[in-house]
Every structure is written in structure tokens, then in C-alpha cells.
């Protein structure tokens, strides 16, 4: 998300880099993640400015924060052919450990938003204030759009979760309307599905040299149509598990420009989170405007790893809930 709109604020001034903190390493496995305790997931004031932070504490046995990401070896078990799996029907498999669980995946933006600026600029109520229905998203310098990236990863993630028996729904898909849906509608899809977990897939559009991923957690909001108080804690748990597995599987470092090296940020200005009544997080998988990250984001093999890391985080959360 790089353009000003419902789910992105203008990039903040770059803060001095802290120590080599990361969210997890190869030693962090789903079993160990069960010991992670989230004591605080609410940052500073909400509204349209600033990024809130989450304070995440881990048990001594499972803590791997502080180990350099360079020591993480990406897994080699994911397919490396770069092909996009054929989307499967939104129905649970006959059996599997996630049978009965519902996951909603929200592929950020829409390729047609560029041609429908009037529609996506319409303001919607996100609880704390009013924001545009949607935005165009960003792209690599070579023209690979965020909307293409998010749908590709979402298809891969959907296939992985359905193999485990989950019912998976997308907020948009191939053949969807030419623009949107609006951020309030995206949240409503997850709510009406009574999702056990929901995730919005994005890629960032920060300055070159800014790289890495970060997971956005909902802050505590109780205003207008928004009330996130019941989902703050489970969403933080979901986000921590996704972050730990994402860095382990992909080798992508935690963001060096937001989140103080933790890979976790709490915000109160995102309609997709504010209006959610089910556990939900956003993930910015990397910076499309940085050459190193762009090389990963445009690789089908790496996108498969991204989907695998996100999937393992969701599976860990669902098995523990």
C-alpha cells in the first residue's frame, strides 16, 4: 500500500535503525509459537496519523527475537516452478485438521481501480473517521502491480489452507467487479462469514532502501461503527504467529523502516481492521519500490514461500484457538 487512502497513511520520516531485532528465526516453529504471550497490542492514539506499536512478549523457551535474520535459511520445500495454483472452490475438503474452520483472505486493491477513481474516492465510515473506498495500490518500477501480487499470493494461500480442510473465502477474485470492493465491504465479508481468522494481503510502496515485511495489528477502537476491543488480543496472537512463520519460511527480514525491527505495527486508522469483528491482520510482504524486495515479490517461487509462511502462521493460530 503506497498511495494515500483508506488503508495507507503518507510514509513517515524514516527513523534511525535500531539493533538487529527480528521477529523470529528458524528455531521458531509452530509448536514453540504456542508459548508466545501477547501482553499488549495497543499503541498510541488513533486517527489519521502515526503508526501505533504493539508490545509483544515471549516466553523464554520460545523467544528468538534478537537473532539476526541473516542466520535464517529459507526453506526449500515449497514448489519453485513459479506457477500459480488453480483456485479451488470455496468449500471445505472432505477431511483435514482445519475442517470446520473458516478463513477469509482479502487480496488488497483491484487492478481496475486505476480506471475507476471516482468510485474508489468515495468516502466510507471506518469508525474513527471517513476515508476513501479503496486506493490504486502500488507497483514495482517494472510495472508489476500490487493488485496482481496480492491476488496471486491469495490464490496460493487459499490452495494451501483448503488442502488442510479449511473453508476459504476471498473478498475479490478473478472475475470480480472491475473496482473495489470498498474497505468497509472487505471487512463485512469476513464478519458475515464468521471467519475464525482473516488476513489482508498487501505489499508496500516505500522509498528505495526501505525493505522488509511487517504485520499490522488492530488497535483498540470504539467509535462510530467500529469496535475492535474483542478482537485486539486474538488478532495480535494471529499476527505474531504469521510474522514468526513468514520470516522463517521466506527469509525476508522484518521491516527496517517501521516497527523498530519487530515486524509488528499496531494501527487504528485502517477500515479493514477497525470494522472487523473477527480476528484479522494485514501483512505488507515487502517493499515493491526496493530492488531487492521487488526481485522477491516478482518471483513465483518466492510468492509460494510467502503463502506458505502465512499459511503456517494461520494454521498455528487456528490449532491453538
What pLDDT digit, counting tens, does each position of 160-171 carry?
A: 999 999 999 999
Place of cell 504467529: 241
Place of cell 508490545: 55
**Interatomic CA distance for residues 267 and 54, integer angstroms:** 9
What pLDDT digit, counting tens, does each position of 196-239 carry?
A: 999 999 999 999 999 999 999 999 999 999 999 999 999 999 99
Question: How would DSSP label each residue in 104-131?
Answer: EEEE-S-GGGGG-HHHHTSEEE-SSSEE
Query: So which residues are the catalytic ones?
Result: 284
**DSSP H stretches of helix in 106-231:** 117-120, 146-163, 183-192
Q: Is 239 exposed, middle or buried (0-12, 13-18, 19+ CB in 10 A)?
A: buried
Supply 43's cell numbers.
499503541
Mean pLDDT of 260-286: 98
CATH superfamily of 30-70+87-320: Zn-dependent exopeptidases (3.40.630.40)
What's the whole-model pTM score?
0.75
Supply 181's cell numbers.
470492493
**Interatomic CA distance for residues 53 and 267, integer angstroms:** 7
Q: Is the pLDDT of residue 41 over 90?
A: no
- Which residues, 6 or more positions from 38, have their beta carbon under 8 angstroms from its beta carbon? 54, 56, 57, 233, 236, 237, 240
Instruction: pLDDT band for 63, please (50, 70, 90 cuts).
Output: very low
DSSP 312: H
Element (H, E) at 242: helix 232-250
Higher pLDDT, 307 or 26: 307
Amino acid at each position: 500500500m503506497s498511495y494515500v487512502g483508506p488503508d495507507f497513511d503518507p510514509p513517515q520520516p524514516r527513523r534511525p535503525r535500531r539493533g538487529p531485532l527480528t521477529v523470529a528465526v528458524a528455531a521458531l516453529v509452530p509448536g514453540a509459537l504456542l508459548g508466545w504471550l501477547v501482553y499488549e497490542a495497543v499503541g498510541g492514539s488513533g486517527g489519521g496519523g502515526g503508526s501505533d506499536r504493539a508490545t509483544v512478549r515471549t516466553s523464554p523457551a520460545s523467544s528468538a527475537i534478537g537473532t539476526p535474520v541473516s542466520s535464517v535459511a529459507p526453506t526449500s520445500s515449497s514448489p519453485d516452478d513459479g506457477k500459480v495454483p488453480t483456485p479451488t472452490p470455496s468449500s471445505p475438503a472432505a477431511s483435514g485438521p482445519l475442517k470446520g474452520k473458516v478463513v477469509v483472505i482479502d487480496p488488497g486493491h483491484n487492478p481496475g481501480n486505476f480506471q475507476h477513481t471516482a468510485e474508489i474516492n468515495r468516502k466510507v465510515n471506518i469508525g474513527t473517521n471517513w476515508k476513501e473506498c479503496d486506493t490504486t495500490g502500488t507497483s514495482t518500477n517494472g510495472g508489476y502491480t500490487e493488485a496482481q501480487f496480492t491476488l496471486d499470493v491469495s490464490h496460493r494461500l487459499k490452495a494451501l489452507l483448503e488442502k488442510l480442510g479449511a473453508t476459504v473465502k476471498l473478498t475479490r477474485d478473478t472475475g470480480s467487479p472491475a473496482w473495489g470492493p470498498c474497505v468497509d465491504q472487505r471487512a463485512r465479508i469476513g464478519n458475515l462469514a464468521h471467519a475464525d481468522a482473516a488476513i489482508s494481503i498487501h505489499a508496500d510502496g516505500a522509498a528505495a532502501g526501505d525493505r522488509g515485511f511487517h504485520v499490522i495489528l488492530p488497535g483498540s477502537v470504539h467509535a462510530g461503527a467500529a469496535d475492535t476491543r474483542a478482537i485486539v488480543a486474538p488478532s495480535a496472537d494471529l499476527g505474531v504467529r504469521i510474522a514468526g512463520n513468514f520470516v522463517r519460511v521466506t527469509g525476508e527480514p522484518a521491516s527496517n523502516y517501521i516497527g523498530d525491527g519487530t515486524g509488528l505495527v499496531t494501527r487504528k486508522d485502517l477500515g479493514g481492521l477497525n470494522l472487523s469483528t473477527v480476528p484479522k491482520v494485514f501483512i505488507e510482504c515487502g517493499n515493491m519500490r526496493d530492488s531487492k524486495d521487488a526481485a522477491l515479490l516478482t518471483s513465483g517461487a518466492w510468492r509460494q514461500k510467502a503463502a506458505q509462511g502465512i499459511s503456517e502462521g494461520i494454521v498455528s493460530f487456528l490449532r491453538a484457538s
